[in-house]
Structure 1
């Protein structure tokens, strides 16, 4: 859940301010360097805090914002991805849409936002790693919502889109789901956000996916 205040949201709904200065301070890529941007929500943002050693790799740029939905990510995609000229973007989006953080939204519209980000990336010659949504069967901040089946359906839609469009699909879900269609207790304290053990499961998967994306011709 986001700590970004409602008053600030009304002034800067996609939270363009958060990384505006950091983007300007990014050094130019060195010869041969491959810059990777991680675009996402709290799962991405907290990754850098919980396992900072992973993001000690200067080529990895974390652009996660807690609480964000795919609609907000799409609005800041140009500033926080395209304009900093990465070679690959890793997109992890959708769980906060299912939680209705910015209001009800259909799975088709969530996918539409994700597709728009992919299309923007491809137009700007940025390769894409498209992540599955992590498993979840409850939201502590939205106990009335039962997300498990929607997560499965959205992941099927993301996987299908990736396959049809020659995009690398990164399956976190299968590696982390438990027998209740939730995030395994060993991987999370609240059923949504990974702990260090959870991120240690994700890290080799994303590194492999990035390597595969860099080898793609388109």
Structure 2
């Protein structure tokens, strides 16, 4: 292959890569703004799942409610959890813990679950990092909301499993102008608080330790964008959740 032809091939490949990146960015932005537009129209919506909640029937299995934001919505289950539990998803994309707090009674307590998996906080943290004047109040509200969710679930007779917040991955260049690296420190602070909530009926699923560990940011192969988790990441979390739920099944040895 002569040099002009080789250069043309390389240029074509670069154009394809650029087109793919732009397509991905546009699709991500479209989804992001659709979610945010819906939240602007219905910022607080305690009746969001009212119809689904009314229609929910007992399956004869213990019920686990997965409650929170888009990460909760995308949470998957595997192993014994998939077959032995009635899994009810009550995650809403783009929601902060403040918004979710208005749904907690309807979407968790009233459903009388045996277990509640609480996955929330990433949207609070990203927003707080970008609004320095509101940072401390937002972090305080997030801690208070997570604590309230755990305590109210436990008081209802359920076991609360609280997930730590998985730190975001390194932002793409297109996201960098709207990004603050303060988010990583804020999440570290909140995660330390979450770990301190552990009690008899409050368990901690340390998702951040499992997926990020001693790294600074979430590895890209475990992410689909800055804040959302890949299929592989969700599979790792599902396996860990299955381990945690095994002793909670009826008849399990303690």
Q: TM-score range by the shorter chain?
A: 0.7 to 0.9
Distance 2:39 2:106 in 1: 17
Contact 1:55–1:61 under 8 Å retained in 2: no
Distance 1:172 1:166 in 2: 18
Indicate the SS of the match to 1:201.
helix
Higher normalized helix content (fraction of residues):
2
Distance 2:222 2:237 in 1: 10
Cα offsets for 1:84-112 (capped at 9, x unmatched): 111110001111111128x7343232110
Is structure 2 residue 51 aligned with structure 1 residue 15? no
The farther-off stretch of 105-114 and 83-92 is 105-114
Cα offsets for 1:193-216 (capped at 9, x unmatched): 11111111111111222335568x
Contact 1:40–1:92 under 8 Å retained in 2: yes
Is structure 2 residue 142 aligned with structure 1 residue 114? no
- How far residue 69 of structure 1 moved from its aligned partner, in angstroms, is 0.9
Distance 1:55 1:94 in 2: 24
The farther-off stretch of 51-60 and 12-21 is 51-60
Contact 1:184–1:191 under 8 Å retained in 2: no
Contact 1:45–1:64 under 8 Å retained in 2: yes
Give the corresponding residue for 1:135: 167
**TM superposition score normalised by structure 1:** 0.82
Give the corresponding residue for 1:34: 62
Contact 2:117–2:161 under 8 Å retained in 1: yes
Cα offsets for 1:168-209 (capped at 9, x unmatched): 111111121166521111111213111111111111111222
Is structure 2 residue 203 aligned with structure 1 residue 168? yes
Indicate the SS of the match to 2:245.
helix
Cα offsets for 1:133-175 (capped at 9, x unmatched): 0122556484135311111111111001225x65211111112
Contact 1:168–1:212 under 8 Å retained in 2: no
Distance 1:63 1:2 in 2: 21
Contact 2:80–2:246 under 8 Å retained in 1: no
Q: Which has the larger radius of gyration?
A: 2
Give the corresponding residue for 2:107: 80
Distance 1:116 1:3 in 2: 29
Say which of 219, 226, 244 aligns to 1:191.
Answer: 226
Q: Give the total of aligned pairs.
A: 210
Give the corresponding residue for 2:192: 156
Give the corresponding residue for 1:204: 239
Indicate the SS of the match to 2:116.
strand
Contact 2:81–2:242 under 8 Å retained in 1: no
- How far residue 17 of structure 1 moved from its aligned partner, in angstroms, is 4.0
